[in-house]
Amino acid sequence: MTLCLGRSDLLRLLDVHACIDRLWSGFTAEPVGVDAQRVRADLPGPGTATALIPGLLPGIPAYSVKVNAKFPGARPALRGVVCLHDLGTGELLALLDSATLTAWRTGLAAALAAHSLARYDAEVLGIVGCGAQAGLFTRGIVGMRPISAMVVTDTDRARAGEFADRCAEEFGLPVRVADDAPGAAAEADILLTATWSRTPLLHAADVRPGTQITSLGADEPGKIELAADLLLASRVVVDDARLALAGGAVGNAGLDASAISATLGEVLTGAVPARGGPDTVTVYAPVGVPWQDLALAWHGYRAAGEAGAGTPMDFLG
C-alpha cells in the first residue's frame, strides 16, 4: 500500500525545528558512496523537467526519487512528486507533493547554512525574491538567531509588499521594501537571493564586508544571481562541489573548482572554518541534493503513520 501525502497533509505534519535537525544530521553524516544524480531536460515551451536520484542517507531504510516540472510563470512554479521507496524491496511507500517538500528542504537547509556562515552579530535579514523558499528561509533563520529587521525586494513589487506584510505580522519585525537587489544588499547582514535570474543581480561592489549571502536561484545551467567577481572575492561554500560546477552558481559564472572553499558538511563538522574573519563575505551556493528530499520525505512519512494522515492507494491492486 502506498501513502499519498499532498500539500495540506505535509503542512500539518512537518515541523521547522525537526526538519532543520534532520538536515543537519544529513550534512554531517558519512557519505553513502553513491554519487547524486541531477538529470534535467528542456521541454517544448517555457518549462523544464528535472529528476533527482537517488536520495540516500545512513540509517534510513528507504530511498527517494524526485521528478519535477519547473514553469517559471506558474504558481507554484515547481510541480511534481517525491517517490519514497523501501530500500530493501523497492516497494513504493509514499508519494509526496514535491513543491512543498522542495520549498521546505531548500529554504531550511539554506537557513541552516546562512546561520552557520554568518557573523555572530548579523541581525538584518535581506530577501531578494519573495517566493516560497524565501518564506521557509525566513522562518528558519528567525528560529535560530535574533533578527532585528528585514529588507525585501522582488521584480513583482506587489508580491514584495505582500511578503513584507506577512513577515511583519508573523515575526513582529520592521520590514522595508527595497527597489532592487543592490538596495537590499546595502542594508543586509544576511542576504538571500531566490530568483529565476539569468544575469547577475549582485557584483562585489554591491556587498558590504562581512555579509553572508545565500544564492538559491542558480540551481541549473544558465541561471545566475551572483557575478564572478563577487564569488571570487568571497568564501564560497556549496552542498555538492561536482554539481555546483556542472550547473550551479560557480560553474554558471564560468569559474572552476578553485573558487570553492568548502562544502557545508565540512563546515558543520568543523573540518573547515566557516569564516576567515569579521570582514569575510561568505556565499552559500547550493544546487540541492537528493538526500535532502529523502530526509524530509522520511520524516513526513513517519509522522503521517503516527498521525493516521494521508490517503492510502493500492497501485498494484
Whether residue 33 is predicted with pLDDT greater than 90 in this model: the reply is: no
- Poorest-pLDDT segment among 12-26, 32-46, 239-253: 32-46
Q: Given this model, what pLDDT does residue 207 score?
A: 98
Q: Given this model, what pLDDT does residue 103 score?
A: 94
How many C-beta neighbours within 10 Å does residue 119 have?
18
The mean pLDDT value for 302-307 works out to 97
Whether residue 31 is predicted with pLDDT greater than 90 in this model: the reply is: no
CA distance 291 to 57: 6
Strands of 124-128's sheet in order across: 175-177, 149-153, 124-128, 190-193, 212-215, 282-284, 235-238, 260-263
- Find all residues with CB under 8 Å of 201, minimum gap 6, and list them: 128, 180, 181, 193, 195, 225, 226
ω into 72 cis (within 30 of 0): no
CA distance 148 to 286: 26
* Backbone torsions φ then ψ of 186, nearest 5 degrees: -65, -20
- Model pLDDT for residues 96-144, shown as the tens digit of each residue: 999 999 999 999 999 999 999 999 999 999 999 999 999 999 999 999 9
How many CA atoms within 13 Å lie on the side-chain side of 188? 31
Whether residue 36 is predicted with pLDDT greater than 90 in this model: the reply is: no
Categorize the per-residue pLDDT at 15 as very low, low, confident or very high, splitting at 50, 70 and 90.
very high
Categorize the per-residue pLDDT at 81 as very low, low, confident or very high, splitting at 50, 70 and 90.
very high
Q: Given this model, what pLDDT does residue 203 score?
A: 98
- What SS3 class is residue 186? coil
Q: Given this model, what pLDDT does residue 49 score?
A: 93
Helix H segments across the chain? 7-13, 16-28, 98-117, 132-144, 157-171, 181-185, 228-232, 241-247, 249-252, 264-268, 290-307
Whether residue 315 is predicted with pLDDT greater than 90 in this model: the reply is: no
